[in-house]
Structure 1
């Protein structure tokens, strides 16, 4: 495992929320965090069928474009009874041509579970894969998995994406019903980030 000793890190995301979260987590370690928008970084085409592969594509594209070490992530929800779908296509299921409609994506998920008459509990996992890549091509991979189940109808107006239909194991509320602090303390992304910090930054 390689320690991160550089002073600057490019977080390969155009998501302002993710960028702010990473900046808050890494600033205590003396790292200046910059985002994709600050470098006019284009979003590469994700051609892999797994989270690690797509995260690597994003990290490599960012490193090659800027010469800086880069952090990327790929994440989504995998439903057991749907053979892991939507998985890497989690965001694609919400695409409409005019932006993303996650209400439509959640409805599709439930319809497909009904179509295969999936037994309860309808187990699923939120997965997050982080790839931290250096300019010499070396990378470290971290994966966070939050197990739970799909419930219906959607519950809660907090969070985003598929949160209102996902109930984490050990809880009686969905991610959509949790406060941001509560969700962030147990999320798949929090698990992956804590592994990365412990391994490469602490």
Structure 2
């Protein structure tokens, strides 16, 4: 079954392809089909993921899968949250992983809180059969950890170098791909969505 992934993030595509391999789903990014990115005006991960999925399905005529994910830091009241991918731009800085990480540490330092900072990666996955699907599949995953002041590791993307998982003794960027795909917020959401694909969409 072919699904449009409402994202142009190559690393995210690779992760999701691996996670949904058991069902043999073929994911194609919306960019490959010439579909522009959807607006993300909402305040929650679920609402933004649903908006993106409906947009991709409407433009392609295919079932669509959307992910909205980010970092929630308790000391910042849940920020960066749904603005994680462009957090630095809120402070007049360029949009990049490096700038997002730097600005995050700056904001934590301004708050005067002591490190480490409790945080979680959050992922909302939404799948729709069509743009007007009245029964979207929705799955959430949360991966708890803490933000350290020093980045570590070269793998992953986004805030992975700053997100330390105490139980593993490593940052997310230091984990191998197999470990990350087994434990991450996206893996947890994907496991829930896989079950729904089987039970609701009757895929096998």
Instruction: Specify the TM-score bucket, using the shorter chain as the normaliser.
Output: 0.7 to 0.9
Q: Is 2:115–2:147's contact at 8 Å kept on the other side of the alignment?
A: no
Partners of 1:179 and 1:27 in 2: CA distance: 18
Q: Is 1:26–1:33's contact at 8 Å kept on the other side of the alignment?
A: no
1:119-140 CA-partner distances (Å, limit 9, x unpaired) = 4441000001001112142301
Q: Is 1:76–1:91's contact at 8 Å kept on the other side of the alignment?
A: yes
Q: How many residues align?
A: 196
Shift of 1:70: 0.6
Aligned to 2:7: 13
Which of residues 53, 58, 80 in structure 2 aligns to 1:64?
58
Partners of 2:113 and 2:92 in 1: CA distance: 30
TM-score when scaled to structure 2? Answer: 0.86
Determine if the alignment matches structure 1 residue 199 to structure 2 residue 193.
Answer: no
Aligned to 1:122: 117
Alignment of 1:53-202 (within 5 A): 53-95=47-89, 100-135=95-130, 136-137=132-133, 138-201=135-198
Shift of 1:28: 4.1
| Structure 2: gaps of 5 or more residues | 199-203
Aligned to 1:4: none
Gap change, CA 1:48 and 1:111, over 3 Å in 2: same
Which of residues 21, 32, 35 in structure 1 aligns to 2:26?
32
Deviates more, 1:66-75 or 1:119-128: 119-128
CA RMSD of aligned residues (A): 2.1
Partners of 2:111 and 2:15 in 1: CA distance: 38
- Moved segments of 4+, more than 6 Å: 96-99
| Structure 1: gaps of 5 or more residues | 1-6
Aligned to 1:22: 16
Deviates more, 1:55-64 or 1:21-30: 21-30
